[in-house]
Amino acid sequence: MASHHKIGHLCEKWALIALMLKGYLPVGMNVITGRGTGAGEIDLIVRRGKTLVFVEVKKRSTYTKGVDAITIENQMRVARASAAYLKRYPIYQKWRIRYDAVICRPWRWPVHIKDAWRIM
């Protein structure tokens, strides 16, 4: 049986494929940013036009459990990571930034949630 870690990476690959079929271009996958800041990893970074999208991927048994897994703490971690990424790659600083989520469920196509949260 595959480990949860391997299943999670498979889910991230499916999420990327689903986004690419919608016209998004991959920028990064499992991007580590801000070591020592608690920022951690960004599951996916994609772009479409002049919009850079930081994507949190959740694998859960139901859509509701996937949405519930994107907590405020999780959102803030992704925000810290995205800030570190933008500092490292200033070319994107003038682009529109968005935070999306993709929920993966067993035997279902991934669900893309555009603008899943906003950072004020």
What does the block give as tokens for 66? Answer: 């996937």
Q: What's the confidence (pLDDT) of residue 86?
A: 93
What is the distance between the alpha carbons of residues 72 and 8, in angstroms, rounded to a whole number?
A: 21
The percent of residues above 90 in pLDDT, for the chain, comes to 72
Fold of 4-117: Trna Endonuclease; Chain: A, domain 1 (3.40.1350)
Report the sign of the C-alpha dihedral through residues 5, 7, 10, 12, in that order.
negative
**Is the pLDDT score of 62 beyond 80?**
yes
Mean pLDDT of 63-84: 92
Confidence at residue 41, expressed as pLDDT on a 0 to 100 scale = 87
